[in-house]
Amino acid sequence: MSLHNFIRQMPKVELHVHLTGAVTPDLLLKLAQRNKITLPATTPDEMRRWFQFRDFAHFIEIYLTASSCIRTVDDLEEITRHFLARQAQENIRYTEFTHTAYTHYRQAGLLFADQLAALNRARRWARDAFGIDSGIVIDIPRVIPEDEAIMIADWAIAGASDGVVALGLGGPEVGNPPERYASAFARARAAGLPSVPHAGETEGAASIWGALKSLGASRIGHGIRCLEDPALVAALIDQGVVLEVCPTSNVCVAGVPSLPRHPVSAMLDAGLAVCINTDDPGMFDVTLTEEFIKLVDAFAFDARTIETMILEALEASFLPTAEKQQYRSAFRAEFSELRRRCGIL
């Protein structure tokens, strides 16, 4: 199918992908064996069966177990190199990936400065090897006390001149409203770091309102429950907030019952700005190319719709203005040439 070929070859941007969740089953097994950690699986096929999630709570349980296999800064550098190489294979020219530094600090005693140095070595390697670029979102797990969230905000602020582009908020929404972390986000925003919290993934519109009003969100991770409140939809459009939608992830953790019943098409019809992402591609066994192909098959999106979502991601990124303009011009030229080669008007 010509549109599938167009998607495979087109330049891409991804803004919502977790570094630990991007670790493939093969690499996770290698890390577990190296660090003498026993997992409930010993082969890649068993790992994929293990990655069958009942719900979001079950996903978090497995995610934390996977995180425990990362014990050293060398492990961190290896998984980042592996991840960025896979991004290059997908023709993802720019990525903003989320790193939960707090987990590795608590589980393995890795200092933030050492973690950041490892990520940056991998980022420089990927830039030299593949010509792709990336930025780092440091996130707060929304189950920790406020004082520790402030510590993470300070980490992110310290890294703002060294690859960190935003402060995020992840983890289980239920019982953990965004308002709890308002001080940490205010601190980061005052230092010039944008706010990119998860909200409206497993909780309703109130969670998204909290992310907007209390955290000053520039983008919203997921946001798929926004359609429950027309006033919220209007606010998101008015404020130009882009929603980082992750369709396969939402299905895998039972946030939506199936891809054809995903609200992404209705979100676009409502006039919301949407970009498409994989969230945890290693755990959900999906690539960004496959995400777009699934959407084309489920909703009959055309090339222009796909292009628009890629450009929404680019515009919502935290790239410097001049670099963003260079990417924009290059992408539009490539889209035009690809449409011609694939026979798409």
Q: Which of 84, 172, 66, 60 is nearest to 135 (CA)?
A: 84
Question: Which range is least confidently modeled, 44-53, 116-125, 231-240?
Answer: 44-53
Q: What pLDDT score does 63 carry?
A: 87
Read off the pLDDT of each residue in 145-164 and give the average, rounded to a whole number.
Answer: 97
pLDDT at 224 over 90: yes
pLDDT at 295 over 90: yes
Instruction: State the pLDDT confidence band at 82, using cuts at 50, 70 and 90.
Output: very high
Q: What pLDDT score does 11 carry?
A: 98
Q: What is the pTM of this model?
A: 0.96
pLDDT at 101 over 80: yes
* CB neighbours of residue 132 within 10 Å: 18
**How large is the C-alpha radius of gyration of the chain?**
19
Q: What pLDDT score does 162 carry?
A: 97
pLDDT at 1 over 80: no
**Annotated catalytic residue: which of 14, 96, 173, 201?**
201
Instruction: State the pLDDT confidence band at 246, using cuts at 50, 70 and 90.
Output: very high
Q: What pLDDT score does 47 carry?
A: 82
> Are 284 and 51 in contact, with CB atoms under 8 Å apart?
yes
Read off the pLDDT of each residue in 227-249 and give the average, rounded to a whole number.
Answer: 98
Beta strands across the sheet bearing 274-276: 12-18, 92-99, 133-141, 164-170, 195-199, 219-222, 242-245, 274-276
Check if 201 is active-site: yes
Statement: 2-342 belongs to CATH 3.20.20.140? yes
Q: What pLDDT score does 88 carry?
A: 98
Read off the pLDDT of each residue in 260-277 and give the average, rounded to a whole number.
Answer: 98
Read off the pLDDT of each residue in 83-98 and give the average, rounded to a whole number.
Answer: 98
Read off the pLDDT of each residue in 56-85 and give the average, rounded to a whole number.
Answer: 92
CA–CA distance, 241 with 226 (Å, rounded to integer): 12
Read off the pLDDT of each residue in 275-288 and give the average, rounded to a whole number.
Answer: 95
Q: What pLDDT score does 191 carry?
A: 98
pLDDT in tens, 30-54: 999 999 999 888 888 888 888 888 8
Q: What pLDDT score does 251 carry?
A: 95
User: Which of 28-42, 61-75, 188-202 ranks highest by mean pLDDT?
Assistant: 188-202
Read off the pLDDT of each residue in 58-83 and give the average, rounded to a whole number.
Answer: 93
